[in-house]
Structure 1
């Protein structure tokens, strides 16, 4: 699909995403330049690619979806996620905000309820052109799940402001089990409302 600004989008499943592993790493290193330069092990390309491999290798029984944006034949951004399976580890360390009065009901997954949006990244040279929002919308458009969830670092002001403006709301915090993982805010977006 060709979009304004010359971008073209390609949808991929887990197998197709694994086939583009080198492209995924290239987009990551061109998107997270400052984070990688910080020296934080969690942001190293090696740990990022280990997480990517686990997302795509363990998707048996889960629906993995990825979108890559290209301009002039070169990858410019990417996003992906998957449908949470029953007993999803996504909620393992979740600490809900006070508004969530029934943690068990909120975190219950049946394999069709929640889409976990794991990553949105845009290469630095294409930032500020609306590509992140376009990737976000293209990935979530038409999803059959009732809601989507994502994790964001609380001090990532730019991303946080964007997510809130795109209809996301904070519901709690979590510290994933990944090596060197920080504590994240957990956001939710209702997918049953197309007006968001």
Structure 2
């Protein structure tokens, strides 16, 4: 199925806001009752993230044009709150120059398990200039399956943080943007 999905880059949130919210609600359907996962909380974060430097999303669409997945990220500078919320200083290679922070990755259920999330992720990284990329993951998500998936993509733990009081404790994973 993955080979039938189309991937498209966007740097203007207004072009994809409604599609992102729709896909998010489907992806997180089982968690929407929790404060940090409510659609309203996501919409607020999305608006803030969309204004950040270097914001970009890759949207995946089914052959009929329906949005089925996404990954979005932005550039984080040294001293950004992405780094200051860490429980211990992140490695200097991540924090001494601009790096990429992936804020969200999601694929709707019928399209999961086929490599689409990794294809979206890889497409997002393909055109980036930053040397390093990081993302946050709930280590309990999918009984650890999500964290293991990212580790299979070359990520390793570089710290942890709790971005908001409503958020669970998260592990920060990182790797070089371009894998050798």
TM-score (norm 2): 0.90
Q: Could you tell me which residue of structure 2 aligns to residue 47 of structure 1?
A: 41
Give the ranges of 4+ consecutive aligned residues of structure 1 lying more than 6 Å apart after TM superposition: none
* Matches of 1:49 and 1:155, distance apart in 2: 23
Whether the 8 Å contact between 1:18 and 1:53 is mirrored in structure 2 is: no
Report how many residues are paired: 177
Deviations 1:69-118 (A, max 9, x none): 0012110101100111232110112123xxxxx758356343x3x10011
Counterpart of 1:82 in 2: which secondary structure? strand
The structure whose Rg is larger is 1
Displacement of 1:24 in angstroms is 0.9
Q: Could you tell me which residue of structure 2 aligns to residue 137 of structure 1?
A: 122
Deviations 1:121-170 (A, max 9, x none): 00112111211111111111242111101000011212111100000000
Whether the 8 Å contact between 2:90 and 2:158 is mirrored in structure 1 is: no
Aligned counterparts, 1:21-32, within 5 A? 21-32=17-28
* Matches of 2:174 and 2:2, distance apart in 1: 28
Aligned counterparts, 1:62-81, within 5 A? 62-71=53-62, 72-81=64-73
Whether 1:186 and 2:172 are equivalent positions in the alignment is yes
Unaligned runs of 5+ in 1: 97-101
Name the CA shift for 1:103/1:79 in 2 (closer, same or farther; >3 Å).
closer
TM-score (norm 1): 0.83
Displacement of 1:192 in angstroms is 4.1
Considering only aligned residues, what root-mean-square deviation do their CA atoms show, in Å? 1.9
Of 69, 86, 93 in structure 2, the residue corresponding to residue 94 of structure 1 is 86
Q: Could you tell me which residue of structure 2 aligns to residue 128 of structure 1?
A: 113
Whether 1:175 and 2:162 are equivalent positions in the alignment is yes
